[in-house]
Homo-oligomer: A and B are copies of this chain.
């Protein structure tokens, strides 16, 4: 177990005003290890108080201390000095084109950039990590030139839609192998940020397309389930097909999954694989859910409105396990897309890095 820290480590947030940025703030409010000391956002926001700059969209109050913090420019120099405590740990959730330019500059400046952005997820020397699934991939940071020069590095977590299925599939891959994966998502609007999806597009409607989402889901899934092989990750060898849809739900991505196994498994064996899947049981990471994959025995669950907050939004819920007429088994998996699928994932990665002495 990681030793209790005397003082909480300072954290900076890149993209603090966005939907995921708001979740970082919410989830870190009483965090035992981390404390937000620096907030950065686009030029439009910098120089304002956070309370002015952000349109807070969460149903818990914006903490007073955060509301009064002044938003900094998104510059490593702004983080490294000035009136504010300079954090060496940066949680980042910004658009890919901006991340592609900014995150390396923070890493070069010696920061641990723990990112929810998609820019570097598939880079060969950047770990794409979900602590319960592939903690060992973190070794990839040693392949990064920044690490050698300044100590800085980039670690990423996956796309919000991948998170639920990959947690549900990991214990099955480990015990039985998986050769084919079929995933059809019904995704919440919060996944598109703010303002994101127009209400005219989604009220009384389904949008059967989310730009680049299917590609991300397919490639990130296989990298996450892949194995570290020396200096690189070998993706899982499996055929994968994703279909992504947007539905009128605020939070919580629901995914219908079908799989072909490497070797046969009974329903009981799969349920057991999920029940016994507790890879972080001994680590005592504060944000890790006790049971990362919870089974819902009711015939009509999981449902986003009822199940998204399980494990404080960090547990994924599986249900409806039944034989598949085309592959072997099918089931439904649900995860909270801005907690488990984004802000909580970044925080859990940071906790893992801290417990390994890498922060």
How far, in whole Å, are A307 and B184 apart by their CA atoms in the complex? 21
Provide the residues of chain B in CB contact with A304, threshold 8 Å.
204-206
The reply to whether the CB of A59 lies closer than 8 angstroms to some CB of chain B is yes
The reply to whether the CB of A80 lies closer than 8 angstroms to some CB of chain B is no
Give A188-212 interface residues, CB cut-off 8 Å to B. 189-190, 194-209
- Given the known inter-chain contacts A59-B309, A243-B184, A309-B60, please indicate yes or no for A320 contacting B199, CB distance below 8 A: no
Are B326 and A180 interface neighbours, CB within 8 A? yes
Can you report 9 A-B residue pairs in the complex whose CB atoms are below 8 A from each other? A186-B247, A195-B198, A196-B200, A197-B199, A199-B203, A204-B305, A208-B256, A209-B320, A241-B330
The reply to whether the CB of A258 lies closer than 8 angstroms to some CB of chain B is yes
The reply to whether the CB of A157 lies closer than 8 angstroms to some CB of chain B is no
* Mask of A30-63 contacts with B, CB within 8 angstroms, 1/0: 0000000000000000000000000001111100
Best-buried of A206, A302, A332 by chain B (most CB within 10 Å): A206
Give A332-352 interface residues, CB cut-off 8 Å to B. 332
Q: Which of B60, B202, B218 contacts A325 (CB 8 A)?
A: B218
Given A203-B248, A209-B299, A241-B258, 11 extra CB contacts under 8 A: A57-B306, A186-B186, A195-B195, A196-B198, A199-B203, A205-B305, A206-B254, A240-B325, A243-B330, A243-B332, A247-B247
The reply to whether the CB of A182 lies closer than 8 angstroms to some CB of chain B is yes
Are A239 and B325 interface neighbours, CB within 8 A? yes
Are A59 and B194 interface neighbours, CB within 8 A? no
The reply to whether the CB of A245 lies closer than 8 angstroms to some CB of chain B is yes
The reply to whether the CB of A301 lies closer than 8 angstroms to some CB of chain B is yes
- Given the known inter-chain contacts A250-B305, A305-B250, please indicate yes or no for A325 contacting B204, CB distance below 8 A: no
Q: Which of B58, B241, B247, B303 contacts A326 (CB 8 A)?
A: B241
How far, in whole Å, are A245 and B305 apart by their CA atoms in the complex? 14
How far, in whole Å, are A318 and B67 apart by their CA atoms in the complex? 20
The reply to whether the CB of A216 lies closer than 8 angstroms to some CB of chain B is no
Which are the 4 A-B pairs with shortest beta-carbon distances?
A195-B198, A241-B325, A184-B184, A209-B300
Interface size on A, residues (CB 8 A): 63
The reply to whether the CB of A319 lies closer than 8 angstroms to some CB of chain B is yes
Provide the residues of chain B in CB contact with A239, threshold 8 Å.
325-326
Best-buried of A19, A198, A242 by chain B (most CB within 10 Å): A198
Are A59 and B200 interface neighbours, CB within 8 A? no
How far, in whole Å, are A258 and B327 apart by their CA atoms in the complex? 12
Provide the residues of chain B in CB contact with A300, threshold 8 Å.
207-209
Provide the residues of chain B in CB contact with A201, threshold 8 Å.
57, 195, 199
Best-buried of A61, A186, A309 by chain B (most CB within 10 Å): A186
Provide the residues of chain B in CB contact with A250, threshold 8 Å.
200, 203-204, 305
The reply to whether the CB of A310 lies closer than 8 angstroms to some CB of chain B is yes
Provide the residues of chain B in CB contact with A302, threshold 8 Å.
208
The reply to whether the CB of A249 lies closer than 8 angstroms to some CB of chain B is yes
Q: Closest residue of chain B to A258, judged by CB?
A: B241
The reply to whether the CB of A308 lies closer than 8 angstroms to some CB of chain B is yes
* Mask of A166-198 contacts with B, CB within 8 angstroms, 1/0: 000000000000001110101001100011111
How far, in whole Å, are A203 and B304 apart by their CA atoms in the complex? 10
* Mask of A245-275 contacts with B, CB within 8 angstroms, 1/0: 1011110001010100000000000000000
